A and B are shown apart, each in its own frame.
Chain A
């Protein structure tokens, strides 16, 4: 058995070297190979993690939350292993542990912080004893793969039910997430965002979870942050937003920075992260809650979050001849809406680049673009200098902008990504915002890096 684990690790490592040699990211392939050789590879390695395995799942914010937790734990001096590249299927999770394991089958780390795809939760939790499970939110994502939200929350529920040793870290503001405390009776800690002046601004958005998960009645909302996130209560039963143990107030986005007042344990501190967008505040709240639960000092944890820098395509900043350019991954209506809200809130004029692909990893059905509120761009299009649409479904994107009320003379379609990116970077506006679906993200980032300098946020 030990021998098979060693063989699996060795084969996994060789696969990783070979695929890296050929220039592939290859973040899940080593896991595929290792699991072929020894199916128990993940189980055996995860059992060796010293202090505990942390699992992060949900629709949006998984990667950023995972990275923030890794930063906090790493800065606190712990040895951490994680699937930082976002390969979040069971094969990717296996690959991440193999990467840090010795070929004699030993894994020496304090924490494993694992981002796990929603549909892979049952498989991963069967093999891994998670001490902490973080759930960020549930929105519609790649419906041709997951069909319906009901199915996904059902799958997660079944997976969590057996994890009695775990603590759930849950987003109180999302009824689809908050329900899991009751339905699984696993102990939970909640984080959330209090009412603020931006609340309810997006009340017209498609809201997925607006019906009570317990009795089906339409939930009453006192305010919305975005999508179905907000302060809700059910008129039909006793379900309502749980009181968060970690709660943020008065969020402000300024100069590439997002800050808020944070209340926990009767204490009040300030939290500032160097990333734009309300959704990133949620990610930071989740990461902070994890730190608190693990007994870390809050001061250093806040410092770590303040020093956190975004990863590829999470409002990643570049500088093109003095003009700031932000690259943002988009994969579902809620994430895109929040990206657009950030775009609209930023001062000055903008050039916009949007790349939409419809490969398997992007979701083959692009109709979700019609659930994104591009209408907010049409309302005041003077702030926008140009929109260039690119990718396998660039034409579709141009149609969407046209019907959202953006004047067609500001919209162009360019299938050549290099030219399209260049036109956005070199456009006459004060800043450039680049949005891309998953499979267009890496090529886009590569091209931006050739043209522009990395970094340049918040000065």
Chain B
């Protein structure tokens, strides 16, 4: 049984991010891997140590401040679970929260959880549009596609990015990096949502969860025709421009 936790689904649910949970859950179900999804809202009890996969989405500014206060109370337990191999996917606002701080336009410093070594500051313009990113999991390079929409610009410290931007802005529109990757934690600006049409990443996360449970992480192959075509359609537009390639 893989234990999944959707953090603050009532507040962090912009841009169809629940699709990430749907994709994770369905791809387990189609392989007969039992999954339990728990929704955790403000004030609810949660034990991170016992979980396998935590998903944190993005919200509007107001909602983000509401949940930051709540998450701060659970910070130490969350950080310890992460060091212990908890699998985490954090998108956009949720991603920013894992870092040291967010410097807003008024110069106000809003502290983050400080679990990962990066910071974010408000940019001049909003970074909006389709994105293609090259990543490498298990030494195999492949491409992710998604849609970004953020005004915060994230700068990584001594920590690895999720991938390299092929098209779009990524973390800050300057250094060509996108997302963050530490142990089993993945942060990214990619909505879309990310997991349904980037199934290699989804399966990689499922594999990590199985491993954490001490189970065989080899996954049964699925028919990914629609997913690959959706991914490929965007890559054709952004990267290859006519040169057909699978993602």
Cβ proximity bits B23-66 to A, threshold 8 Å, 1 near / 0 not = 10010000000000000000000000000000000001110001
Docked-complex contact A365 and B191, CB < 8 angstroms: yes
State in angstroms the CA–CA spacing of A313 and B140 once bound together: 46
Is A150's CB within 8 Å of the partner chain B?
A: yes
State in angstroms the CA–CA spacing of A150 and B232 once bound together: 35
Which chain B residue lies CB-closest to A365? B147
* 8 cross-chain pairs, A with B, having the tightest CB-CB distances, nearest first: A370-B16, A370-B19, A367-B16, A395-B230, A148-B60, A395-B229, A398-B226, A367-B15
Cβ proximity bits A117-137 to B, threshold 8 Å, 1 near / 0 not = 000000000000000000000
Residues of chain A within 8 A (CB-CB) of B197 are 396, 399
State in angstroms the CA–CA spacing of A364 and B237 once bound together: 13
Docked-complex contact B14 and A143, CB < 8 angstroms: yes
Which chain B residue lies CB-closest to A395? B230
Question: Given A143, A396, A403, which contacts B149 in the complex, CB threshold below 8 Å?
Answer: A143
State in angstroms the CA–CA spacing of A403 and B233 once bound together: 18
- Could you list 29 A-B pairs, sorted by A, with CB under 8 Å? A143-B14, A143-B149, A144-B147, A148-B60, A150-B60, A206-B13, A218-B10, A364-B128, A364-B147, A365-B128, A365-B147, A366-B192, A367-B15, A367-B192, A370-B18, A370-B19, A370-B22, A370-B193, A395-B229, A395-B232, A396-B233, A398-B230, A399-B197, A400-B19, A403-B23, A403-B196, A408-B225, A411-B226, A413-B226
Is B108's CB within 8 Å of the partner chain A?
A: no
Is A418's CB within 8 Å of the partner chain B?
A: no
Cβ proximity bits A378-418 to B, threshold 8 Å, 1 near / 0 not = 00000000000000110110111011110010010100000
Residues of chain B within 8 A (CB-CB) of A400 are 19, 196
* Interface SS, B side: helix
A209 to chain B, nearest CB (A): 12
Residues of chain B within 8 A (CB-CB) of A403 are 19, 22-23, 26, 196
State in angstroms the CA–CA spacing of A367 and B149 once bound together: 11
Question: Which of A150, A366, A393, A405 lies at the interface centre, i.e. has the most chain B CB atoms within 10 A of its CB?
Answer: A366
Interface residue tally of chain A, by bracket? Answer: 20 to 34
B residues apposed to A, CB below 8 Å:
10, 13-19, 22-23, 26, 60-62, 66, 126, 128-130, 147, 149, 191-193, 196-197, 223, 225-227, 229-230, 232-233
Is A159's CB within 8 Å of the partner chain B?
A: no
Given contacts A367-B147, A370-B19, 15 further A-B contacts (CB under 8 A): A144-B147, A144-B149, A147-B60, A150-B60, A150-B62, A206-B13, A216-B66, A364-B129, A369-B16, A370-B17, A370-B196, A399-B226, A400-B19, A403-B19, A403-B26
Residues of chain A within 8 A (CB-CB) of B129 are 364
State in angstroms the CA–CA spacing of A144 and B14 once bound together: 11
B95 to chain A, nearest CB (A): 16
Which chain B residue lies CB-closest to A148? B60
Residues of chain A within 8 A (CB-CB) of B15 are 143, 365, 367-368
Docked-complex contact A367 and B191, CB < 8 angstroms: yes
State in angstroms the CA–CA spacing of A408 and B26 once bound together: 14
Question: Given A149, A369, A399, A411, which contacts B227 in the complex, CB threshold below 8 Å?
Answer: A399
State in angstroms the CA–CA spacing of A195 and B126 once bound together: 42
Docked-complex contact B233 and A395, CB < 8 angstroms: yes
State in angstroms the CA–CA spacing of A413 and B225 once bound together: 11
A211 to chain B, nearest CB (A): 9
